[in-house]
C-alpha cells in the first residue's frame, strides 16, 4: 500500500545515513553520519537483488539502540497496549521490530546509491525534529525524523515521509485487524507475515 511504501522509504533513507550513535551526539549528527558497516554489507553482496539472513543479522545489530521500538510499538498498537501484561508488551515489541526490519530489509536490498541531505535539527526539550531529503536521480523526497533523547543517546520514535507518519501508518493497518479479531488476531497476522518473509530466505 502507498502509506507503507512511504514508511519503508523513510527507513531506507535512515539506514543509509545512520551512525553508531553516542549519548553526546546531537540529533542531526546522530542521523547524518553514514553507517559504513551497512553500506559495506550492501556493496559486497554477491546477490545485489536480496539480503541474506547473514546480511539481515548484521544490519539488525547495527541499528540496535537507534530505534525506540517499544515507543513505536505502543503508539502503533494504540489503546490495546495498556491491556497487555508487561511480558506481552515485550513480546509484541519484539514481533513489531522483526516485522519492521524484514519489511524495510526487502526495500534496503534495492540500494543503488541514493543520497540523503539534512537540515539543522529543531529542538524542543528532550525531543528533536530533523528534516531531510532523499535524492534519487531527479526525484527529491522530503523525510522528517522525530527523535527523543535517552540516557544512551537519541532514538527515533517516528518518521514522516511526504507528510505520512510511519507510526500512524502502522496504527491504521493494525486497527483494521484489531476491529476484526482483536489483539490475538493482530499478533497472529504479524507472525504469519514474518514467517512468509523467512520462507523467502
Per-residue pLDDT, 15:
56
pLDDT at 9: 58
* d(C-alpha 103, C-alpha 91), whole Å: 18
pLDDT at 76: 97
Q: What is the pTM of this model?
A: 0.78
Measured on CA atoms in the order 6, 11, 17, 21, is the torsion positive or negative? positive
Q: How big, in percent rounded to 5, are the helix, strand and coil portions of the chain?
A: 55, 20, 25
pLDDT at 32: 67
pLDDT at residue number 14: 59
Q: What is the pLDDT of residue 33?
A: 52
Pick the CATH number of 2-200 from 3.40.50.300, 3.40.50.1100, 3.10.450.710, 3.30.930.10: 3.10.450.710
User: Mean pLDDT per 10-residue run, the chain (201 residues)?
Assistant: 52 53 65 56 75 80 81 96 98 95 73 77 92 86 89 86 90 95 97 88 69
Using CA atoms, how far residue 81 sits from 19, 37, 158, 181, 192, in Å, is 31, 34, 17, 15, 20
Cα→Cα distances 29→73, 98, 133, Å: 25, 26, 15
Amino acid at each position: 500500500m502507498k502509506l507503507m511504501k512511504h514508511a519503508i522509504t523513510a527507513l531506507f533513507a535512515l539506514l543509509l545515513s545512520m551512525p553508531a550513535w553516542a549519548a553526546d551526539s546531537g540529533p542531526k549528527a546522530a542521523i547524518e553520519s553514514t553507517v559504513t558497516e551497512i553500506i559495506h554489507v550492501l556493496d559486497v553482496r554477491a546477490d545485489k537483488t536480496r539480503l541474506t539472513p547473514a546480511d539481515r543479522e548484521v544490519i539488525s545489530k547495527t541499528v540496535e539502540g537507534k530505534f525506540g521500538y517499544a515507543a513505536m510499538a505502543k503508539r502503533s498498537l494504540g489503546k490495546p497496549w495498556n491491556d497487555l501484561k508487561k511480558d506481552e508488551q515485550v513480546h509484541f515489541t519484539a514481533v513489531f521490530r522483526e516485522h519492521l526490519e524484514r519489511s524495510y530489509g526487502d526495500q534496503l536490498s534495492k540500494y543503488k546509491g541514493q543520497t540523503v541531505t539534512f537540515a539543522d535539527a529543531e529542538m524542543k526539550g528532550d525531543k528533536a525534529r530533523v528534516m531531510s531529503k532523499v535524492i534519487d536521480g531527479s526525484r527529491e523526497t522530503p523525510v522528517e525524523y522525530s527523535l527523543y533523547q535517552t540516557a544512551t543517546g537519541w532514538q527515533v520514535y517516528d518518521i514522516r515521509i511526504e507528510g505520512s507518519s510511519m507510526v500512524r501508518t502502522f496504527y491504521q493497518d493494525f486497527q483494521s485487524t484489531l476491529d476484526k479479531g482483536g489483539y490475538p488476531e493482530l499478533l497472529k497476522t504479524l507472525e504469519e507475515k514474518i514467517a512468509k518473509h523467512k520462507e523467502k530466505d
